[in-house]
Amino acid sequence: MDLLDTLTAKGLRRELPTREEALAVLATTDDELLDVVAAAGRVRRQWFGRRVKLNYLVNLKSGLCPEDCSYCSQRLGSKAEILKYTWLKPDQAAEAAAAGVAGGAKRVCMVASGRGPTDRDIDRVTDTIAAIKDQDPAVEICVCLGLLSDNQAERLAAAGADAYNHNLNTSESTYGTITKTHTYADRVDTVNKAHGAGLSACSGLIAGMGESAEDLVDVVFSLRELNPDSVPVNFLIPFEGTPLAKEWNLTPQHCLRILAMVRFVCPDVEVRIAGGREVHLRSMQPLGLHIANSIFLGDYLTSEGQAGQADLDMIADAGFEVEGTGQTTLPRHRSEAVGGGCGSHGESAGGCGSHGEAEASGGCGGHSGGGCGPCGESAPLAQAAPADEAAADLVRVRRRGAGTTLAPNA
């Protein structure tokens, strides 16, 4: 297919596709799906080989959020029966992080619900960073606390944080239909604050909220302009008790098309399959590893993922390997821009680039859509079964790990 040959060549050269090419990926048919995966896989292997980076979420403070993000189980007015608790103590968070690291995670993502941190909250988080780094100096730490005020990103960086997550989630033109208590511009500002403080920026999207193919392309092109080092792709988990509980818009095939589109637009960036992969990709998760080079291990913020050992088995069975602590995630041209650390912030010539939603239900880079249409149409994304009972059965509220007395899933 000429389209895929063109996109592969551009990805290998770190060239930006056209919007029309990106839309055409979303409009490919199921008969073309394996060709799409293979083409995106060539780009993925060029920059990341067969490595899969594992990330582990620790929910520092669950629920009780004053923001009205429609997709989030922790939102204001949510009736989802999730765990609710206030800040974990540093030793509790460190214990939770240790479970993820023992399971193979290279990065720990610490998330707290809320509009944004107070200075006292930053103090709490810096103490928690110290506790985690004391037990494992090599672990990467990403923080996701919502909208940042001046100098807060600098304080987190000085405390030893490596990265900051804050997702754009959806296109600027549709953002106001999803959230009213803050703006798209607020999110962009926080990503820029993270960049400015020398933190590796992590920013992604949620698919499956009823957006159009054009919306998906818009947000991914906006992410490329922001140039984050990692782009979490979340697939909406339609939690009962939230406004988007009935939004079952995704198929496994379309989730793969979305991941491929992100890889073509962001060829040399860590693309992470985040929240919702178990619910929407289901048995096709291993194909996603041919496109993305990063996943979350085990559970998410308020929902359960598949068993951590099942994640490890899936990676091995698909012919991939877990990325080790001694390996640099990003390609040399990006990592060397910041001295070989977690990511690069200065090279917008060929890269893709929150309050995160690490699970299409509210978190650090993991939340969730899908659908396609011919270029130029604003058709809603793929129409799956309106209420896929099999998928709905996969939505399980987290009842173990942080905030409970039960062992975590890692």
Give the pLDDT of residue 389.
57
State the catalytic residues. Answer: 65, 69, 72, 109, 142, 202, 272
Q: Which CATH class is domain 2-392?
A: alpha beta
pLDDT tens digit sequence for 189-247:
999 999 999 999 999 999 999 999 999 999 999 999 999 999 999 999 998 888 888 99
* pLDDT tens figures, 327-337: 999 999 998 77
- Mean of per-residue pLDDT scores for the chain: 87
Give the pLDDT confidence of 112-159 residue by residue, as tens digits: 989 999 999 999 999 999 999 999 999 999 999 999 999 999 999 999
Judged on CB neighbours under 10 Å (0-12, 13-18, 19+), 277 is buried
What is the percent of the chain with per-residue pLDDT over 70, rounded to a whole number? Answer: 87
Residue 373, pLDDT score: 33
pLDDT (average), residues 30-44? 98
* Virtual torsion, Cα 303, 304, 308, 311, nearest 10 deg: -80
- Residue 375 scores a pLDDT above 60: no
CA distance 111 to 234: 16
* Higher-pLDDT residue of 296, 409: 296
pTM > 0.95: yes or no: no
Q: Domain ranges in the chain?
A: 2-392
Say what the pLDDT of residue 290 is. 98
d(CA 215, CA 222): 10
Q: What is the C-alpha separation between 20 and 374, in angstroms, rounded?
A: 9
Higher-scoring residue by pLDDT: 352, 86: 86
How far apart are alpha carbons 306 and 279 in whole angstroms? 10
Would you tell me how many other CB atoms lie within 10 Å of the CB of residue 47? 22
